[in-house]
């Protein structure tokens, strides 16, 4: 599976375990930004490869 395929919605797990606190923070932040039409909001997510940053964000986007 190449990089592009690995980031497709269908290839991601339905739930990322052990990231509930981080996902809640990101979701709350995004909901707040959407409520204010995105005005003046940015969020920087960083970490070592393979800890679930992209998968967690895509899971939150799927829910929203």
8-33 pLDDT, tens digit per residue, is 555 666 677 788 999 999 999 999 98
3: pLDDT confidence band, cut at 50, 70 and 90?
A: low
pLDDT at residue 64 greater than cutoff 80? yes
Quick check: 7 and 54 in contact, CB under 8 A?
yes
What region, left, alpha or beta, does residue 39 occupy, with left being phi > 0 and alpha being psi -120 to 50 degrees?
Answer: beta
pTM: 0.71
Q: Does residue 32 or residue 39 have the better pLDDT?
A: 32
* Residue among 19, 2, 14, 25 at smallest CA distance from 58: 14
Q: What is the mean pLDDT of residues 32-43?
A: 84
Of residues 16 and 58, the one with the higher pLDDT is: 58
Q: How many domains does one find in the chain?
A: 1
For 19, the domain range is 3-63
């Amino acid at each position: 599976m190449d990089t592009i395929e690995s980031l497709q919605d269908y290839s991601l797990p339905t739930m990322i375990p052990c990231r509930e606190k981080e996902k809640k923070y990101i979701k709350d932040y995004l909901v707040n930004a959407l409520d204010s039409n995105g005005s003046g909001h940015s969020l920087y997510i960083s970490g070592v490869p393979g800890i679930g940053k992209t998968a967690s964000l895509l899971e939150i986007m799927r829910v929203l």
